Amino acid sequence: MKFFLDTANLTEIREVAGWGILDGVTTNPSLCSKESARFEDLIKEICRVCPGPVSVECVTTRAEEIIPEARELAKIAPNVVVKIPVGLDGLKATRVLAQEGISVNTTLV
């Protein structure tokens, strides 16, 4: 079993990481918007606290927009997994990104 925390709150992430059971974190734009840190700084810190996979969701919905957004998200930290909504465009983007070696997590299935 793996334990993933669905939040962008660093206090919560640090607490659960301290318990020794945190395998990863999933985030989304609405969770990140509730925090006071700049988005990229927040994701970098989450990735530092949680060495496992950190899913960071794209906000665009068309393949030609998802792909460059996902590439930028993947550059934030080596443990970022780009979360992409499933749909025709999401699947197209997932295929391209996976071929490039970018870790992808599909959501909203």
Distance spanning both ends of the chain, measured CA to CA:
21
pLDDT at 109 over 80: no
For residue 34, what are its two tokens? 């509730």
Task: Output the pTM of the full model.
Answer: 0.93
| Residue 72, strand partner residues | none
* Measured distance CA(63)–CA(32) in Å, rounded: 23
Identify the band that residue 107 occupies on the pLDDT scale cut at 50, 70 and 90: confident
Residues 19 and 55: beta-carbon distance below 8 Å = no
Identify which of 6, 7, 45, 2 has the alpha carbon closest to the alpha carbon of residue 22.
Answer: 2
| Residues marked as catalytic | 83
User: Mean pLDDT over residues 1-25, rounded?
Assistant: 96
3-class SS of residue 51: coil
